Structure 1
Amino acid sequence: MATPVILTGAGSFLGGYVLKALDAEGIDTFALSRQAAATCARHALSTRIKPVDLDLSAPGLEWSPPSDSPHTIIHLAFDRMTSGDGAHGAEINSRITQNVLAICRASNISSIVNASSTSVYGKPDGGLVSAETAPVSPSEYGAAKLLAEQLLVDAPQVASVISVRLPAILGRHAHPENWLVRVAQRLMQNQDLTYSSPGFKFNNAVLASDVAKFFVELAAMNDLPTDVRAPIGSTAGPCLAEILRQMRSDLNSRSGLKVSPASQSPFGIDNSAAEKWGYRPHDILETIRQFTRDFAQDA
């Protein structure tokens, strides 16, 4: 029988996909978010998914599952820090991390599958980023993700943490700030698109359904690694120029595609660390085409 799961950020875009994957696998789950009950009702989930309405960013939060059985945490909850107030966002994310660790202490939970971000790498000088790549001047959001990774690993009550560093996540109703979502919006409106690095072998995107499947597989493992920080992406395929032409064709767009000089070298993703733990990357062109099909249906 699979270990029960505590899912934070259940009401997020990715959280909906993870909830449905957990339910499909028959895994008992506590779904934590500010509107967990409404989220579970919207997705028509079974009774094995138990909603818990709470705000993980609230100070001094006290909650633990009413059970002595072991649980694994899939940790998605995080403030996107898009308000421009980096200090406030950092404070919110610090409280979220501390509350997750408090749940671990109260429930004797020692395994966490943590949703991190490739933004932790900041501005590396092109090439492929891997688990060993050192961060270079990450944004405030990337620095906050990096700090959360370290706080989870350093906590004495947490024995196993795998931080999956996520690129752009695509799917139905993906976040509007996602670069590929904004590209699709411009193409649907037949607006010209200016971009850089046309020859770049782009693989910095994954489908939310693939991420959800990977997270559930990790949570079901009996022995998670002590500390793994693994970036994931799709397989490298055609260059960025070809990908954008394919998106334009799939969306029946009349947009012009214009190339501008790049301000920095783009980087791709080395999947090898995640592949050791069962990650199976999909072809980037298939990923993009699935996204454009979904986007066209939602438009």
Structure 2
Amino acid sequence: MTWLITGGAGYIGAHVVRAFAAAGIATVVLDDLSSGHRSFISDDQDFVEGTLLDVPLLDRVFSEYRFAGVVHIAGYKYAGESVKKPIHTYEQNVTATTNLLAAAERAGVARIVFSSSAAVYGTPDTDLVTEATATRPESPYGETKLIGEWLLRDQGRATGLRHTSLRYFNVVGSASPDLRDTSPHNLFPLVFAALAEGRVPRINGTDYPTPDGTCVRDYVHVADIAEAHVRAAERLTGDEDIEPVYNLGSGDGVSVRQIMDGVARVTGTPFDPEISPRRPGDPARIVASGELAARDLDWRMRHSLDEMIGSAWEASRSGA
């Protein structure tokens, strides 16, 4: 049983690949290395460098391997930047997903786990998001993730594709010092880079309608996210009942200000954050219930905030 992992050389994807290996499930990684790293993939891991926009390449990969299913993580994942680059975002997230689903259908591969996002909710009108909460994305990124879910739904109706989409927001931490978040837009890498360079970390917006004025999010450890992907794939392979969507949420929100305080505490580097204007596309609060995923995917928060920060800080200093 082998699974194709798109985006498997990225921060989240590489953790998923290792979680699959720990579960004894073989994988093939497909990644264009636009944001991933070849060094995140072991030398003995089957790896194909390429883009999902390359249809002949997709057909070749599906013909060379016998896949039990696909975990689709590849994509352009920056909500704020997507406002500036909508066409690029749609191409990378919608056209690419359409190509992948078409190639999978041609090869008779009928299982997929989709890496979606809590960005599909926009700014919810409820304190705790569930899978039944209305989807109102506020960025091209969120829109493309919701369209990806629609594509899976419609393909499922048309062809019997078995699928599920995992919605999550801020993925942090590291399960290994050699795997770190290298995004130029995510909060932890930005904060750690500032500290390493002797600069003061920045908060984007302190005028949100939240208790301390900063954005409130679910912060979830990448290793917990990776395990949920494995459980979803196993459920699909075992032909067990599975929901079309799961929130991988903590049930508790953490503000950006609280993150800053935690970073100062864990790293032993006190600082007073610089305050900048809001970023476009950033909702004030998204906190999700993970009850449904706990029921079906053994989802739970296995790491504290300080453990998330500490493991991310260690990985950031490794120079991986």
Shorter-chain TM-score range: 0.7 to 0.9
The one of 12, 25, 38 aligned to 1:27: 25
Aligned to 1:210: 224
Partner-residue secondary structure (3-state), 2:70: strand
Residues 265 and 85 (structure 1), Cα distance of their counterparts in 2 relative to 1, 3 Å cut? closer
Aligned to 1:56: 52
Residues 129 and 25 (structure 1), Cα distance of their counterparts in 2 relative to 1, 3 Å cut? same
Aligned to 2:291: 272
Q: Which runs of 5+ in 1 are unaligned?
A: none
8 Å Cα contact 1:4/1:71 also seen in 2:
yes
Identity fraction in percent: 24
- 1:62 partner amino acid: D
The one-character-per-residue Cα deviations of 1:148-182 (angstroms, maximum 9, x if unpaired) are 11101211234321111121122313422112332
Shift of 1:296: 4.6
The one of 201, 214, 220 aligned to 2:234: 220
Distance 2:171 2:121 in 1: 17
Shift of 1:117: 0.8
Distance 1:209 1:186 in 2: 25
Aligned to 2:301: 281
Distance 2:249 2:314 in 1: 20
Residues 224 and 175 (structure 1), Cα distance of their counterparts in 2 relative to 1, 3 Å cut? farther
Aligned to 1:183: 191
Shift of 1:132: 1.0
Shift of 1:108: 1.6
Residues 275 and 191 (structure 1), Cα distance of their counterparts in 2 relative to 1, 3 Å cut? same
- 2:98 partner amino acid: Q
8 Å Cα contact 1:20/1:43 also seen in 2:
no
Would you say how many aligned residue pairs link Structure 1 and Structure 2?
293
- 1:165 partner amino acid: R
The one-character-per-residue Cα deviations of 1:212-231 (angstroms, maximum 9, x if unpaired) are 22212221221254542112
TM-score, normalised with respect to structure 2: 0.78
Aligned to 1:248: 264
- 2:25 partner amino acid: I
- 1:191 partner amino acid: V
Residues 288 and 26 (structure 1), Cα distance of their counterparts in 2 relative to 1, 3 Å cut? same
Distance 1:30 1:206 in 2: 26
8 Å Cα contact 2:170/2:217 also seen in 1:
no
Aligned to 2:16: 18
Residues 19 and 65 (structure 1), Cα distance of their counterparts in 2 relative to 1, 3 Å cut? farther
Partner-residue secondary structure (3-state), 1:62: helix
Q: Which runs of 5+ in 2 are unaligned?
A: 175-179
- 1:219 partner amino acid: A
Distance 2:87 2:73 in 1: 20
1:167 aligns with 2:186: no
8 Å Cα contact 2:166/2:248 also seen in 1:
yes
8 Å Cα contact 2:216/2:284 also seen in 1:
no
8 Å Cα contact 2:152/2:161 also seen in 1:
no
Aligned to 2:312: 291
- 1:100 partner amino acid: L
- 1:169 partner amino acid: V
Residues 176 and 234 (structure 1), Cα distance of their counterparts in 2 relative to 1, 3 Å cut? farther
- 2:189 partner amino acid: V
8 Å Cα contact 1:116/1:145 also seen in 2:
yes
TM-score, normalised with respect to structure 1: 0.82
Distance 1:215 1:292 in 2: 24
Shift of 1:76: 0.6
Q: Which moved more, 1:87-96 or 1:239-248?
A: 239-248
- 1:29 partner amino acid: T
The one-character-per-residue Cα deviations of 1:8-29 (angstroms, maximum 9, x if unpaired) are 1122222221222222333222
Partner-residue secondary structure (3-state), 2:230: helix
Shift of 1:193: 4.3
Aligned to 2:73: 76
Shift of 1:116: 0.5
Shift of 1:270: 1.0
Shift of 1:33: 1.9
Residues 237 and 92 (structure 1), Cα distance of their counterparts in 2 relative to 1, 3 Å cut? closer
Residues 57 and 227 (structure 1), Cα distance of their counterparts in 2 relative to 1, 3 Å cut? farther
Distance 1:28 1:87 in 2: 35
